[in-house]
A and B are shown apart, each in its own frame.
Chain A
């Protein structure tokens, strides 16, 4: 499983953003892994709109009394997903308050509070752009996102909270010039889902059979993609989940002899708004039970579990499997692909087992715990086993 994580997080796949060559190559590799299990594999393309693409490294620099300070992207500032595109750095005076009488042509240091209102004031006043305060994760990174709200008419940059405060203090007694760019655009691309129907050890054909339980294991394989010049390996989110699902599929296809229609889907475009699962959910029979794994890298106290749709029986089986495999579970929000299946009326459960370094350059394979991968694979395997052989529960 760690080998799978390292492969998917490697340089070849460039962070696996939907619609990129790296993403497509990752899909091809995963399809091959599933074929080696004897699965019937289908790759299904679907359109994805509104994906944010950072096509160059943004710039943010301020100058006070002729002394310039250039800031580090993703450590000290970050593009805001609602930002208008501004390809080239633009220099303008900074003003402190979006309520200021004249913001025209100036960068605006937005007050703490409602960023959307600050943007509206800046747009109405013809401001050059908006700087808003942003926090970091525990390691000082500003995670990357590629799905968000509608684009505003002004460039918007998130400035680290302490620097925002420093700039406000400086601006109180002296003039500040700001130079910034937001090379961020929206692109329409094609996503690629991988759907695989697995044989079982008794050589049942993968065709549906009356009365057979139908189980679908899912994990998204896409990431937010590398920054220009910087890797974002997406090892935890969600190479780890893919690795655990692939391992569970391998074990189940080799050991389950009871009649069972088992399928695996490796989904694209989750990071862009769960487009892959939305597309896939419409193609499934209504009796399909879906288990989605998003994050299997660092299990602390318990795996987070969210259930949706008619999943009471599936949830009870998962609980039983967790008891058998000594994996603690707790209710936790899992806003992942499982919600698309639940929204389509299917029994769907989402499981999360940790994402260290979430969507930052620090989300590396070295941080994915082998023990967590094993726990996730065991949990999935035991759950499907219990579904296929209810009398063993």
Chain B
């Protein structure tokens, strides 16, 4: 069987233990992989609004994080789930 449909891991398997944070959305600190949902909610996004699922996808809310310049211009809120 050939793997011509590109299933499986892209990149190093071990990176799953230290995945890239979800963009540090809103210009704030990103939730660490060790953070629980509540901790992520308190610290990660806009200082207030990230919940567990929010960082569950690449970028906040399934979107790519906003450019840093845009985040700064919007008070750290652009691109991140409101």
Contact = CB atoms under 8 A, between A and B. Distances in A.
Interface of A: 78, 80-82, 110-116, 132-138, 141-143, 145-149, 158, 161, 164, 237-238, 270-271, 273-274, 278, 294-295, 298, 302, 304-308, 311, 315-316, 319-320, 322-337, 339-340, 343, 349-350, 352, 354-356, 358-359
Contact of B75 (A115, A295, A305, A355): A115
Given A132-B75, A149-B42, A335-B56, A358 B81 contact: yes
Given A149-B48, A331-B11, A336-B52, A354 B6 contact: no
Contact of B49 (A81, A110, A328, A349): A81
Given A306-B19, A332-B19, A358 B77 contact: no
12 contacts: A134-B77, A137-B81, A148-B41, A158-B82, A273-B52, A304-B19, A306-B19, A324-B7, A330-B9, A335-B36, A339-B34, A339-B37
B7 A326 contact: yes
Contacts of A359: 53-54, 61, 81
Interface residues of B, number: 58
Given A115-B75, A158-B77, A350-B56, A278 B49 contact: no
A135 B62 contact: no
Nearest to A278: B36
B38 A273 contact: yes
Given A331-B11, A332-B19, A135 B36 contact: no
Contact of A336 (B56, B62, B66): B56
Nearest to A150: B42
A133 B39 CA distance: 23
